[in-house]
């Protein structure tokens, strides 16, 4: 399990930890460039378990997750969407617009993230799953 990432600028010698502590577990990360795959790296996304929400004593993918982004060099880490069950898909649709599909509270949501502002600009519920009683 990954607890943190250390970023190093080999030209300046400056190093930076992504997270302020090693209390969370980074479950996955993804780099986004524009134009896709060939262009300038715009951001990195992270799916992180911050709390033991299922009370099993272990931080893992079984816990609720947080979707976060940072600048490509690890600066400006920002937690954007908390208490997610699962991130289904995320993609850069414009130079500064990332979209994320995720499951939360038995629904499927679509969020648009403004990369210039490093914030969620809109969220919509697109599907509600059946809950058994």
What are the pLDDT digits (tens) for 89-116? 999 999 999 999 999 998 999 999 999 9
Distance CA 127, CA 133 (A): 19
Q: Per-residue pLDDT tens for 55-70? A: 999 999 999 999 999 9
Distance CA 31, CA 96 (A): 13
Give the pTM.
0.92
Domain boundaries, the chain: 6-127
């Amino acid at each position: 399990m990954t607890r943190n990432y250390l970023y190093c600028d080999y030209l300046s010698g400056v190093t930076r930890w992504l997270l302020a502590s090693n209390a969370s577990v980074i479950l996955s990360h993804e780099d986004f460039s524009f134009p896709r795959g060939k262009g300038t790296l715009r951001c990195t996304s992270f799916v992180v378990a911050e709390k033991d929400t299922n009370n099993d004593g272990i931080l893992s993918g079984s816990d609720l997750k947080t979707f976060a982004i940072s600048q490509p060099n690890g600066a400006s880490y920002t937690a954007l969407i908390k208490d997610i069950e699962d991130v289904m898909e995320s993609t850069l649709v414009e130079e500064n617009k990332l979209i994320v599909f995720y499951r939360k509270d038995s629904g499927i949501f679509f969020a648009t993230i403004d990369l210039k502002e490093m914030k969620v600009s809109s969220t919509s519920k697109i599907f509600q799953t059946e809950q058994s009683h």
